[in-house]
């Protein structure tokens, strides 16, 4: 390792050197090397570096070592998008400033105002907090920044995307003129550059791997399903990927609660984290995750932003994010500090556009994977049952053994065993006989085989064994309704012959297990068509013809271009109206 790359080359003071050694950092990360001297010299910087690259210490070290002076007043302000992140940054300042007499006061919403005022009176030199609460203190004059030397915007892009622009501008406007301004961000959207131009003086721009902001050690997987992020799909994915600990992202607060409940019901140790939780609950949940007493934390972007829990092996996008930046930020919660990690996305028809955008923007191209079909699932469940039945079988009398042998040689042995199983195994409470059967409920999906419906419901499992009713999981009844809806339209008329309609041809058909109801749904989900805009559907052997509202045809062909049905590209094209249909089918 060259001289340049060591902490020695920073010329750190003894107290900071000791703290770095105690924290256990052996050598500075790339961003720390790239920024230390510039920040130490008092210059403004804009730093773009991927998540997990050690940005916190990149600003904390030079600030503690060079910028902060002995005088007991607020000298450094750090603004972070969330309370959790503020606490983490405050913690890093405390650890690195342990021997340098750096008082740190966390300032964030949801915690007692008075407590924070006391901390400020106690002579803190560093304040770390969220923009809203920080502005509160400034306006109430409970925070004196007349001696401020540096302001840090940490995860600047995130603060902007969370709508903090106004607060940030207000805060920056209230700070003394000569202060140093440091902007750290994983991505650099235009709004961030504009804010920099407005509040910084001749900033030094340091962009590290801007083309590749996601951590190197992360593998990306994408599972396609009709329902996108439903709980049953998530459970299937967990069965396949077997993550030890994961952060599961949802797009809404309500979903976090629902998904966490779904995971708990399936026997996983899961909790949720969202902005509606009281501060002490949030801290409790984070504590559980850190202590590895919870394996799955289901969170919204906002609540989980910047969370640094080193042992997270997986990030799961249960709801796929709207923006590529959000994907990068979320995924950056795994693969921290050079570890490897896996980011998994559940992709529904609505998400395909955003997935494409992710590829265009960051060149991230998740490995496509398919969820097991209903049939595969069933085989697995059966295998688990056999295993557990064999395992559960205790000692039996010789008489019983003799009878069993006799029975097995009989022509009708199979039926007799089936009867025994039905009578004495399936009818009994499952826990009495069988250890947990993989709780994969079979929801129909684009990739599901047609047997989806035949998953036994009459297997005598007590009702509590089923996935909770309230959730999106139960798409079965929904599908039946949709199929019925599509059925009456199936007729001998060729699609496209109806007034104002044209024919769309998909190069998948009965052979690919295509069902009219699912095609109707696909067109409505992906093509954003109203029910009335989808007409007759003919599922033929190798193609499916659909009549759709003429004006929508071109857009539809475009939006279906990348879609696959049971792994086969649907290759949409304008259908040939003149061609007479074979027997019209819409199962
Ligand atoms: P970022 O803000 O870039 O996402 P963090 O500052 O949260 O990254 O750091 C990510 C992880 O790397 C943290 O767990 C931190 O303790 C660790 N880390 C930071 N600097 C070093 C270093 N020089 N050597 C080893 N680990 C480090
Ligand atoms: Mg950070």
Q: How far is CA 538 from CA 26, 349, 492, 495, 520, in A?
A: 66, 21, 9, 7, 11
240 Cα–ligand 1 center, Å: 30
Q: Are residues 102 and 130 in the same domain?
A: yes
391 is a domain residue = no
Considering only the C-alpha atoms of the chain, give the largest distance between any 2 of them, rounded to a whole number of Å. 95
89 is a domain residue = yes
**Identity of the highest mean pLDDT range in 67-71, 307-311, 516-520:** 67-71
19 Cα–ligand 1 center, Å: 15
Q: Are residues 476 and 341 in the same domain?
A: no
Q: Are residues 16 and 116 in the same domain?
A: yes
In angstroms, rounded to a whole number, what is the distance separating the alpha carbons of residues 79 and 305?
A: 13
In angstroms, rounded to a whole number, what is the distance separating the alpha carbons of residues 500 and 549?
A: 6
199 Cα–ligand 2 center, Å: 21
Range of lowest pLDDT (344-353, 357-366, 405-414): 357-366
Ligand nearest 49 Cα, by number? 1
Q: Which atom of ligand 1 is nearest to the CA of 7?
A: 23
- Flag whether pLDDT at 496 surpasses 70: no
The string of pLDDT tens digits covering residues 36-59 is 999 999 999 999 887 778 999 999
Question: With a 6 A CB cut-off, is 336 part of the ligand 1 pocket?
Answer: yes
pLDDT number for residue 269: 92
308 Cα–ligand 2 center, Å: 8
> Which range of residues forms the domain containing residue 575?
427-583
pLDDT number for residue 1: 40
pLDDT number for residue 520: 82
Q: Are residues 454 and 493 in the same domain?
A: yes
φ, ψ (nearest 5 deg) of residue 215: -55, 145
197 is a domain residue = yes
Closest residue to atom 9 of ligand 1, CA basis: 54
414 is a domain residue = no
- Flag whether pLDDT at 64 surpasses 80: yes
pLDDT band at 426 (very low <50, low <70, confident <90, very high): low
Q: Are residues 281 and 161 in the same domain?
A: no
43 is a domain residue = yes
Question: With a 6 A CB cut-off, is 21 part of the ligand 1 pocket?
Answer: no
58 Cα–ligand 2 center, Å: 10
Q: Are residues 470 and 350 in the same domain?
A: no
The last residue of a domain, from among 336, 371, 406: 371
Pocket test for ligand 1, best of 6, 9, 47, 57 (most atoms within 8 A of CB): 57
Question: With a 6 A CB cut-off, is 517 part of the ligand 1 pocket?
Answer: no
The last residue of a domain, from among 371, 388, 404: 371
Question: With a 6 A CB cut-off, is 57 part of the ligand 1 pocket?
Answer: yes
pTM for the full predicted model: 0.50
The string of pLDDT tens digits covering residues 243-256 is 888 999 999 999 99
The last residue of a domain, from among 371, 392, 410: 371
The string of pLDDT tens digits covering residues 472-488 is 333 332 222 222 233 33
Half-sphere exposure (Cβ direction) of 544: Cα atoms closer than 13 Å: 32
pLDDT number for residue 550: 87
- Flag whether pLDDT at 443 surpasses 50: no
Question: With a 6 A CB cut-off, is 305 part of the ligand 1 pocket?
Answer: no
244 Cα–ligand 1 center, Å: 22
270 or 512: which leads in pLDDT: 270
Q: Are residues 454 and 553 in the same domain?
A: yes
Angle at alpha carbon of residue 90, lines to 87 and 95, rounded to 5°: 125
423 Cα–ligand 1 center, Å: 59
Secondary structure in 3-state letters for 370-431:
ECCCHHHHHHHHHHHHHHHHHHHCCCCCHHHHHHHHHHHHCCCHHHHHHHHHHHHHHCCCHH
Q: Are residues 513 and 532 in the same domain?
A: yes
Ligand nearest 28 Cα, by number? 1
Closest residue to atom 15 of ligand 1, CA basis: 54
Q: Are residues 439 and 347 in the same domain?
A: no
Question: With a 6 A CB cut-off, is 187 part of the ligand 1 pocket?
Answer: no
174-202 average pLDDT score: 91
142 or 442: which leads in pLDDT: 142
pLDDT number for residue 216: 64
Q: Are residues 104 and 249 in the same domain?
A: no
pLDDT number for residue 239: 84
- The enclosing domain of 517 has a CATH number of 3.30.70.330
Closest residue to atom 2 of ligand 1, CA basis: 55
pLDDT number for residue 173: 94
pLDDT number for residue 372: 74
50 Cα–ligand 2 center, Å: 9
- Flag whether pLDDT at 465 surpasses 50: no
Q: Which atom of ligand 1 is nearest to the CA of 25?
A: 24
Q: Which atom of ligand 1 is nearest to the CA of 92?
A: 16
184 or 186: which leads in pLDDT: 184
pLDDT number for residue 470: 35
305 is a domain residue = yes
552 Cα–ligand 1 center, Å: 50
The string of pLDDT tens digits covering residues 352-396 is 888 888 887 777 888 888 777 766 767 777 777 787 788 878 888
Question: With a 6 A CB cut-off, is 52 part of the ligand 1 pocket?
Answer: yes
pLDDT number for residue 304: 78
Domain count, the chain: 3
Q: Are residues 466 and 488 in the same domain?
A: yes
pLDDT band at 12 (very low <50, low <70, confident <90, very high): very high
The string of pLDDT tens digits covering residues 108-128 is 877 777 888 888 888 899 999
- The enclosing domain of 102 has a CATH number of 3.40.50.300
Q: Are residues 196 and 225 in the same domain?
A: no
Mean pLDDT over all residues of the chain? 79
Q: Which two tokens stand for residue 550?
A: 């003429």
Nearest to 150 by CA among 174, 129, 180: 180
């Amino acid at each position: 390792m060259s001289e340049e790359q060591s902490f020695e080359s920073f010329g750190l003071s003894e107290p900071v050197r000791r703290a770095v050694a105690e924290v256990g950092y052996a050598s500075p990360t790339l961003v720390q090397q790239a920024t230390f001297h510039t920040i130490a010299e008092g210059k403004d910087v804009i730093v773009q570096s991927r998540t997990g690259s050690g940005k916190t210490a990149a600003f904390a070290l030079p600030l503690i070592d060079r910028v902060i002076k002995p005088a007991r007043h607020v000298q450094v302000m750090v603004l972070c998008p969330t309370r959790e992140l503020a606490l983490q940054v405050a913690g890093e300042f405390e650890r690195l400033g342990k021997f340098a007499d750096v008082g740190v006061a966390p300032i964030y919403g949801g915690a007692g105002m008075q407590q924070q005022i006391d901390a400020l009176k106690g002579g803190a030199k560093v304040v770390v907090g969220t923009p809203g609460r920080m502005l509160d203190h400034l306006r109430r004059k409970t925070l004196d920044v007349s001696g401020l030397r540096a302001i840090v915007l940490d995860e600047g892009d995130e603060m902007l995307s969370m709508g903090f622009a106004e607060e940030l501008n207000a805060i920056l406007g209230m700070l003394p003129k000569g202060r140093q301004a440091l902007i750290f961000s994983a991505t650099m959207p235009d709004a961030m550059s504009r804010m920099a131009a407005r509040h910084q003086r001749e900033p030094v721009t340091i962009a590290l791997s801007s083309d590749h902001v996601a951590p190197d050690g992360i593998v990306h997987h994408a599972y396609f399903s009709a329902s996108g992020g439903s709980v049953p799909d998530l459970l299937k994915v967990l069965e396949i990927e077997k993550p030890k600990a994961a952060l599961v992202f949802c797009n809404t607060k309500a979903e976090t609660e629902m998904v966490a409940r779904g995971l708990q019901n399936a026997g996983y140790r899961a909790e949720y984290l969202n902005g509606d939780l009281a501060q002490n609950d949030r801290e409790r949940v984070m504590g559980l995750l850190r202590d590895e007493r919870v394996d799955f934390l289901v969170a919204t972007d906002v609540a989980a932003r910047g969370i640094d829990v080193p042992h997270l092996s997986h990030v799961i996008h249960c709801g796929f994010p709207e923006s590529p930046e959000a994907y990068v930020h979320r995924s950056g919660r795994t693969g921290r500090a050079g570890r490897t990690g896996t980011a998994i996305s559940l992709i529904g028809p609505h998400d395909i556009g955003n997935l494409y955008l992710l590829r265009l923007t960051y060149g991230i191209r998740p490995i496509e994977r398919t969820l097991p079909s209903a049939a595969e699932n069933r085989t697995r469940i059966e295998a688990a049952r056999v295993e557990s039945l064999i395992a559960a079988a205790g000692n039996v009398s010789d008489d019983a053994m003799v009878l069993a042998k006799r029975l097995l040689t009989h022509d009708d042995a199979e039926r007799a065993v089936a009867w025994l199983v039905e009578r004495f195994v399936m009818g009994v409470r499952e826990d009495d006989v069988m250890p947990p059967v993989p709780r994969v409920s079979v929801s129909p999906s684009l990739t599901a085989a047609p047997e989806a419906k035949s998953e036994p419901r009459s297997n005598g499992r007590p009702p509590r064994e089923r996935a909770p009713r309230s959730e999106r999981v139960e798409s079965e009844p929904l599908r039946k309704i949709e199929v019925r809806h599509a059925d009456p339209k199936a007729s001998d008329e060729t699609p496209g012959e109806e007034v104002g309609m044209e024919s769309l041809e998909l190069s998948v058909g009965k052979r690919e297990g295509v069902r009219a109801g699912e095609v109707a749904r696909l067109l409505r989900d992906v093509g954003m068509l109203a029910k009335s805009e989808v007409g007759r559907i003919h599922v033929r052997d190798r193609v499916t013809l659909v009549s759709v509202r003429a004006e929508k045809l071109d857009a539809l062909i475009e939006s279906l271009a990348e879609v696959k049905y049971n792994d086969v590209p649907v290759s949409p094209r304008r259908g040939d109206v003149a061609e007479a249909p074979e027997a019209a089918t819409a199962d």
